[in-house]
Amino acid sequence: KKDGELYEYEFEHAKEPARKIVALWSPTGEGKKGETLVDLGGLTLAKAERMPLKEGEVPALPIAVRDGKVSVPYDESPIYLWLEPK
């Protein structure tokens, strides 16, 4: 997406393919930041987290769902969206 400024990968659960994780990040190495709109494809956002850089509990990201889509701020640290069936 966005001419190499944003990677967005979708992974599905091996035994329950309706459950997915979407990973987003900027691969540029130039400190780029942005925001992208992700269509949930009829799924529910179960949680959103930034890639942990140290041990311990990972704080959740406050991302609001609106009309089946989420606006996700991104940078070079991956963000993970856990999606589940309604």
pLDDT at 45: 95
- How confident is the model at residue 14, as a pLDDT? 94
Per-residue tokens: 78 = 């991956």
pLDDT digits (tens, 9 = 90+) for 38-60: 999 999 999 999 988 789 888 77
Q: How many contiguous H segments (helices) and E segments (strands) does the chain have?
A: 0, 7
Q: From first to last of its 86 residues, what are the pLDDT tens digits of the chain?
A: 556 788 999 999 999 999 999 999 998 777 888 899 999 999 999 999 998 878 988 877 889 899 999 999 999 999 999 999 98
d(CA 36, CA 70): 8
Nearest C-alpha neighbor of 2 from the set 39, 22, 32: 32
